Structure 1
């Protein structure tokens, strides 16, 4: 039986990649498997990473036990609303920012690791049917 997950659940799971602690990719993949891979990738790079990646860019990351679910969702919604109002000039630079996020070692390596776990979890699910 498939559990029902929403985008807030997906964002919360994906944010764990940006916590200064050992990442439990299998648990994240268990949530992410309920969404199309393209959606998971978009949410990771365009919603979660812009809000959370800076946590791992400081010498002593302030968040190491997990992002607050309500704070995270509110921050993502505010970020998306703000960027939906951008003019052409600012939108151009925002797209460059998002492209650079995809190439950052932290975000790219987290995504690559998650993809591997997601493939394993999906195979396990397919074999159990």
Structure 2
């Protein structure tokens, strides 16, 4: 039976995964250590459907604003706001569906690096 993730655990997972989107050398092993007790499929889904849609623009900026770490409270607030918009708007839901597909393609390397560092 899969472990149900509490809201605090989900927040901690999001925080750990956001480190992959900073403009600095990414420690994928450290990210993997933070999330290794959770189901990899669930982690991958959180990465691409919750964290990447909020954080990806930092890596795409000419001069990224975030180079060491995201603010945890702002990150959580931004993700919750995005999820609320997605839930309440069919247009936003369709847009996000396409965005997530693109993010899975564009940032596949992030998941590959994290997954390679997870304990087998």
Q: TM-score, normalised by structure 1?
A: 0.82
Q: Distance in 1 between matches of 2:11 and 2:93?
A: 25
Unaligned runs of 5+ in 1: 124-129
- The aligned counterpart of 2:49 is 46
Rg: which structure is higher? Answer: 1
1:9 pairs with one of 12, 16, 36: 12
What's 2:113 paired with?
Answer: 113
**Cα offset for 1:90?**
4.3
SS for the counterpart of 1:6 is helix
Which residue, 78, 100, 103 being the options, matches 1:98? 100
Q: Unpaired segments of 5 or more residues in structure 2?
A: 1-5
Q: CA RMSD in A?
A: 1.6
Runs of 4+ that moved beyond 6 A: none
CA 1:44–1:77: 2 relative to 1, 3 Å: same
1:51 aligned counterpart, secondary structure? helix
Is 1:60 aligned to residue 63 of structure 2? yes
Measure, in 1, the Cα distance between the counterparts of 2:25 and 2:92: 36
Aligned length: 114
TM-score (norm 2): 0.88
